[in-house]
Structure 1
Amino acid sequence: MNQSIQSSNLQTWLGQGKALYELGRYQSAIAKFDKALQLDPYRLDARISRGYARCEINDCAGALEDFDLALRLQPENASAWHGHGIAEAKLGHYLLAVSSFEQSLQADDSEPITWYNCGNALMHLKRYKSALKHFDRAAELNPERHHTWYKRAIALAALNREPEALESLDKTVALKPDCYYAWTYRGTMLNRLSRYPEAISSFEQSLHCRPLNPNAWYGLATTYALLADADTAGLNLQRAMQLNPAIYILMAQKDASFDRIRSCEKIRRLLRIPHQPPSQLRE
């Protein structure tokens, strides 16, 4: 084939593949990248692009093959290392993922998404202080991304820094007012700070954003339980259990928030706690 025609065809396949990727049509994008790589197996951007598309369809083994070859061609390619980290994280290989993300950051430390993804992998390893540093840097580079502020709040909460976590959640919902899960987590932080009226408002805002939201119903139940309002706590717990009974029964059985009302008959029935005769209670 004429070299100029081959080059033109390769650019066409690449362009079509990247357009399909942006549309979320990952299988079709992979087919286009396959065509490009048939013309030039060592075309770096085609190899990396196919790796990312394979990640999206959870073909992580195939993605790693693409990224490994790309890194043999260009050992300090930040995008290839980043993709490598994503594939490793999807496989649950968080130590390897962190190593790959750090290699990417050594090559190019200006990408906020790499800092963010490395922070996520560190969270899975329970390395919360390191994760927080990565989320801080991601937020510095791109302060408008609500996901970063949300994950930063989770890291702060894991470090028992609830007031700062609350500030980060305030930033999250300021950027994305309909972020129901941030409103729910905000309510949980307010519960920890014993700011119960504000917690109730936060859970209610979460339900306004997403009515079929059992975590928010459960959150309301915990707040009212902490206020020793067994009737309202039970009502909200029932609503959560209607959507997913098994998980919320188990959660409430183990949740210290319910300790003040656990002996109430209504709560005992909901939590399926067997009634104990008075003689056993005295023992």
Structure 2
Amino acid sequence: MSQSEDSRILYSQGHVLRKLGHFEGAIEKYDRVLETQPDDHKAWSSRGYALENAGKHEDAVKSFDRALSLSPKYAPAWQGRGIALAKLSNYEEALENFNRALKLQPDDYRGWMNHGKALLSLCRYKDSISSFERVLERKSDSYKAWYNIAVAQSCLNKYADALASLDNCLLIKPSCHYAWNYRGMVLAKLSQFEEALTSFDRSLRLKSNNPNAWYGRACCFALQDRVDLAVENLQQAIAFSPYLCKVMANSDANFNRIRSDFRFRALLDSQAG
């Protein structure tokens, strides 16, 4: 078997392993390709994606840098570099990378999705909506684009618009548990508590170990001064995510109406240790 044939096999094996979630194994395969073909920009880029999948974001950036030093117009490497930087919370530089990728591949809906998510993280909500709309122009059945539009609209206090976007999301993917959960939170903002609870229940039917839905139900009951039910549901949320739910409940304005109640305080105090 020739060296090039061997490299093709290793490269293919790396892709399969990455798709199966075996990221360390994929990295090993790409490393073996690069031992004999150190100037293969696609191998460096694929290695970067595997490293990013494995949570090694700084190493991923370095791998994408090697790919781009070899092929500066390779859009997937700019895209991957942006994803890794976003995971490192470096959203401004990530956005610059997504812009570079989109100049090279303007019809890449995934690129517009990443672009919109970076803008969302930078609190540039109106701009993010424009990017997600670009996704929908290229992929009309993207439920994730509608979901992200709803998040941006909610951040702009446009709750009715957010609700309509979530309904579009759920029309495309009724099994999206986190969209049902977010729909519940938006309805609670609109004081439509019964419908909000129905949405949280739909979310829980899809994913029972879902702390966000239990937490949302607790917020709904707290906003109605239904202390026993608020505490009962918050206890369920804390059971699935003890630290985060405790921190959130301690400062969440949704619980202000019951914050001084001994039952609420007892629950949070019992989680202190």
Pick aligned residue for 1:150 from 147, 151, 162? 147
- Alpha-carbon distance change, 71 to 244 in structure 1, aligned in 2, over 3 angstroms: closer
Query: Does 2:101 align with 1:104?
Result: yes
CA distance in 2, matches of 1:133, 1:233: 38
Pick aligned residue for 1:91 from 88, 93, 101? 88
Query: Does 2:242 align with 1:240?
Result: no
Correspondence 1:132-147 to 2 at 5 A: 132-147=129-144
User: Letter of the aligned partner of 2:27 in structure 1?
Assistant: I
| Contact 1:249/1:270 (8 A) holds in 2 | no
User: Letter of the aligned partner of 2:24 in structure 1?
Assistant: Q
CA distance in 1, matches of 2:268, 2:62: 49
Pick aligned residue for 2:54 from 54, 57, 60? 57
What secondary structure does 1:137 align onto?
helix
Counting matched residue pairs gives 269
Partner of 2:209: 212
1:221-261 CA-to-partner distances (Å, cap 9, x unmatched) read: 22122223333323323333344455434433433333444
CA distance in 2, matches of 1:268, 1:50: 50
- Alpha-carbon distance change, 30 to 235 in structure 1, aligned in 2, over 3 angstroms: closer
CA distance in 2, matches of 1:73, 1:209: 46
CA distance in 1, matches of 2:33, 2:127: 40
| Contact 2:34/2:43 (8 A) holds in 1 | yes
- Alpha-carbon distance change, 19 to 260 in structure 1, aligned in 2, over 3 angstroms: closer
Amino-acid identity (%):
41
Correspondence 1:45-84 to 2 at 5 A: 45-84=42-81
Deviation of 1:201 after TM superposition, in Å, equals: 0.5
CA distance in 1, matches of 2:256, 2:51: 48
User: Letter of the aligned partner of 1:153 in structure 2?
Assistant: A
| Contact 2:41/2:68 (8 A) holds in 1 | no
Partner of 1:275: none
Query: Does 2:117 align with 1:120?
Result: yes
Deviation of 1:78 after TM superposition, in Å, equals: 1.0
What secondary structure does 1:109 align onto?
coil
CA distance in 1, matches of 2:264, 2:44: 58
TM-score by length of 2: 0.88
User: Letter of the aligned partner of 2:207 in structure 1?
Assistant: R
TM-score by length of 1: 0.85
| Contact 2:119/2:127 (8 A) holds in 1 | yes
Partner of 1:160: 157
Query: Does 2:31 align with 1:5?
Result: no
Pick aligned residue for 2:29 from 21, 29, 32? 32
User: Letter of the aligned partner of 1:142 in structure 2?
Assistant: K
| Contact 2:116/2:132 (8 A) holds in 1 | yes
Partner of 1:18: 15
Deviation of 1:66 after TM superposition, in Å, equals: 2.5
Runs of at least 5 residues in structure 1 that lack an aligned partner in the other structure: 273-283
CA distance in 1, matches of 2:51, 2:58: 9
CA distance in 2, matches of 1:171, 1:228: 32
Larger radius of gyration: 1
- Alpha-carbon distance change, 234 to 142 in structure 1, aligned in 2, over 3 angstroms: same
CA distance in 1, matches of 2:16, 2:138: 26
CA distance in 2, matches of 1:182, 1:218: 15
What secondary structure does 1:219 align onto?
helix
- Alpha-carbon distance change, 54 to 192 in structure 1, aligned in 2, over 3 angstroms: same
Deviation of 1:102 after TM superposition, in Å, equals: 0.5
CA distance in 1, matches of 2:118, 2:10: 33
**Root mean square deviation, CA, Å:** 2.2
Deviation of 1:103 after TM superposition, in Å, equals: 0.3
Deviation of 1:18 after TM superposition, in Å, equals: 2.0
Point out the more displaced range, 225-234 or 85-94: 225-234
CA distance in 2, matches of 1:105, 1:171: 26
- Alpha-carbon distance change, 174 to 5 in structure 1, aligned in 2, over 3 angstroms: same
| Contact 2:215/2:233 (8 A) holds in 1 | yes
